[in-house]
Each structure stands twice: as structure tokens, then as C-alpha cells.
Amino acid sequence: MANVAVVGAQWGDEGKGKVVDWLSERADIVVRFQGGHNAGHTLVIGDKTFKLSLLPSGVVRSGKLGVIGNGVVVDPWALCAEIDKLAAQGVAVSRDNLRIAENATLILPLHRELDAIREEAAGTGKIGTTGRGIGPAYEDKVGRRAIRVQDLRNPATLGAKIDRILVHHNALRRGLSQPEISKDTLFAELKEIAPKILPFMDVTWDLLDHERRAGKRILFEGAQGALLDIDHGTYPFVTSSNTVAAQAATGSGMGPRSIGYVLGIAKAYTTRVGSGPFPTELNDEIGTRIGERGREFGTVTGRKRRCGWFDATLVRQTLKIAGIDGIALTKLDVLDGFDEIKVGVGYMLDGERIDRLPAGSGAQARVQPIYETLPGWTQSTHGARSWSELPAQAVKYVRYIEELIERPVTMLSTSPERDDTILMKDPFAD
């Protein structure tokens, strides 16, 4: 059996939660490998809806182990709140179903504050951050001054680590006319939260290697989407980590050969939250209609998502960069009832046709989409579980997307319900 990595092929919010939950039934271990609690997954299991942001999706299923890898930045207070919320829904989180990498970086209150302060100061130049401290925490990680999970177990050395991080942050705060952070206050906060987090700590790279050798099936769960990748996304309107499949290896401590299949998730249209370029965005009644039918509001932030037609040029580019083998196409049913459906097949930039999104933010803002128009369908695709249940024009639409993105559609989702899925290939099969 092949281990599987799931990554978003657009700007996030592609429906990874449902797909990961569907796959987690076939997996033994589910691993988060990047990001933080700025990304959300909505899981609908029976009559219960679970909204997860930091915990791996596997924790809501009995007998599965969830692992938060070293590539994730962990807000321990947000994690405890999420654990408590699940407990209220009847899901107990313990060491039996959750482990956290000892070398994962912590998000501190000062990170959240700095995120909000800088975003406010940016004015019209806002990036569109969620304000949860993700970026500042990654900055401290790269700056080699971060406090990590393992640091919580030794109060005797924690003080010196706090001194190191505060030298940087208090200088920033003075420059931004903000009060300095008290060492004693931060130390007390960390000392209080430590007993709630340390029971989950483990040497997760060793754990995963052992389980892989034992033949366990591992599912690597990505957050955000490839177009938000710090290197390959629409910079600077991106997240602070690598979101492509290669990060599954780095962010979990496993070698790249441990990943057998990379499944990309893409909506049958396109959405984006926050600022940044969006070539096929629809600022009209059609965009509003897609957003209302697709219930396009952020799981974590509640922010309204920008909506537009499917951009095959972008998805094809991300599939190549992210190393995606096939895609799960979600929310096909949202397009039911449109007289015609457009697909972005290229761009015009300064009078020249191009078949990629350029790296420069100025050029990204100037590109104009080239569309092909397809006939829509009047019949419902909602809840379809086989190709025979789909209208002919819906099938043609899916096949046309496959042709444009140069990868097969291996799964097709037709509603938020987990079982409303058409499977063409099991990603876990060799």
C-alpha cells in the first residue's frame, strides 16, 4: 500500500477536510506537516459536523493516530481549546490518538499581537493574514530564536530562551510604539500551559519511521493550497510555509520516498480568501451566486471568499510544482443550473498570450484570463455516487478539465457528505 499526501491545488478551501476524512478511514495514521491553526477543515460525519484547524483529521475517527509534525507551528492555547471543543462533541483526545513533534515551533501570544499590529500598520498594503501569529512564529523559527515544544519540559533553561526571543520582539515593539513584553508574564503563561501539551510530545520522526516499516498506511494532510506556498505561490500574498507535497517529507521527518501518491484537491471553480491576484474572479451576480451556493465562508475566520471560474492554467502549474499525481475535484454540484460555464485556459499579459502565472506581483495583477465557454447542465449532480448519475454535460466538463490540467480526476465530490464521492482510483493502492 502507498502512503498518500493530500495538498490543495488552488488557494486553499478546496474541500480537503472531506477528502482527508474519506481517506482517513483507509489510513492508520494522519499527519499534519505544515501551517498552523489558520487553516480549517470541516468534516461531516453522520449527523455531526467537526470544524478542525490544528488537529489532524484522523482524531475524530476511532483507532486512528493523529500526528502534528515538526513543520507545523503550534499555538498551545488554541490546541487546548480545540481539544476541549471536540470533547464537548464526544471525541476524547489523548496520547492514544494524538502526538506532537518535540521539535515543533510554538506560537506565543506575542506572535499573535505582532501579526495584528503589523497588519493594521500596513493599511492598504495588507497581506490578508488571519492574525493568528503564524507568520511571526515561522520568522522566529528561521531566525533561530523560536521556543519549541521540547523547551517546555525544562523550566531551568526556558528563561534564557525567552530572553533571546524578547531581545528581538521588544525591539520591534519599541519601533512600533508598543509596550514591551514582560519576561515574567510570558514565563508564567508557558509554565501554566506546559502540563497540558507535554503529554502529547513525542519523537515523531522515529515513531513514523517505525510505523511505516511495520506496514501502517500514513496519510499526510496539508493545509492551505499550493498557490499560497511561500516559494511558489502568489507572493507576497501567501502563507509562511511551503504547502507543496515535498513539505510532507520535511515537515514530518520522513524521507520523500515515503510518499507514494500525491492527491491534489481542486474545486470545480475557484475561490480565494484575503488579498492578492485572482485572474478569474467574478465581481458580479455569477460570483455571488457561486459563493452563496457553495457557502463560501472561511471555516476558521468566517471571512467571505472571493469566487470565480475554474482556472486551468493555474491548476496545471500547481500540479507540476507540487508533484501531484491526480486530483479530487470537489463541489461540482455548485455549478448545477448554470446556462453556460467558463474555464480559464490561458492569460493575456501586455498583449501577449502566456500559459503560466508569472512570478512577479505586478505582472500577476495585470494578467487577463482567456476563457473557453461550455454549455451548463440543468439536472442535479448533488449526491451522485457514480458516473451514470451525472448529466452528460457535467461529464464533459470534468473530462475537459482533465485535458487542460494534464492529470486525471481520480475522485469526484458531489456534496459535503463523505460518501457522496465517485472514486476512479484508490490513492492508497499501489
Residues with catalytic roles: 13, 41
Q: How many other C-beta atoms can be found within 10 angstroms of the C-beta atom of residue 336?
A: 17
Half-sphere CA count of 102, side-chain side, radius 13 A:
11
Instruction: Give CA–CA dist 305/325, Å, rounded.
Output: 27
Sign of the CA dihedral running 330, 243, 407, 304? positive
Helix 183-197 with 155-175: angle, nearest 10 deg? 130
Provide the grid cell at 94: 489523548
Q: Where are the beta strands (DSSP E) in 53-206?
A: 65-68, 73-74, 98-101, 105-106, 201-202
Q: Which run of H or E residues covers position 278?
A: none
- 50 near 86, Cβ under 8 Å? yes
**H-helix segments, 255-335:** 285-293, 312-322
Instruction: Give CA–CA dist 306/288, Å, rounded.
Output: 9
Exposure string of 55-92, with b = 16+ CB inside 10 Å and e = fewer, is bbbbbbbeebbbbbbbbbbbbbbbbeebbeebeeeebe
* Residues whose CB falls within 8 Å of the CB of residue 377, separated by 6 or more in sequence, listed in order: 336, 337, 338, 391, 392, 393, 394, 397
